[in-house]
Structure 1
């Protein structure tokens, strides 16, 4: 059963029982990703690491290190 079929079945059941209709799949994806990002930044600050730019700076260090060893 696909996600869409399950959602339609849940909507049908909710309407028959007089309950509120569940949110559509993907309706809160953006909010969930934003909350996860904020939580990871918060944990980084608590651990004493920079909250932003960690991946870019790590890639920069890795690429600079590779360019010296290729000589």
Structure 2
């Protein structure tokens, strides 16, 4: 069963029981990404690491020719 079929089935069941329809698939994707990013920054602070350091910045000295 695809995610769309499952959503339609859940919507139908909710309507039959007089309940609100479930959120559409993908409706909260950006919120999940934001929450994951905040959690990752939080874990970095707990581990006493810089919270916002890009991989490119970390490897910058190693990637430049002649260094």
**TM bucket by the smaller chain?**
0.7 to 0.9
Structure 2 matches for 1:29-68, cutoff 5 A?
29-64=29-64, 67=65
Runs of 4+ residues deviating >4 angstroms: none
RMSD after superposition: 1.7
The alignment's TM-score, normalised by the length of structure 1, stands at 0.80
Specify every segment of 5 or more residues in structure 1 that has no aligned partner in the other structure, as ranges: none
Report the alpha carbon displacement of residue 5 of structure 1 after superposing the two structures with TM. 0.8
How many residues are aligned here? 67
Write the distance in 1 (CA, Å) between the matches of 2:61 and 2:20.
52
**Scaled by the length of structure 2, what TM-score is found?**
0.84
**Unaligned ranges ≥5, structure 2:** none
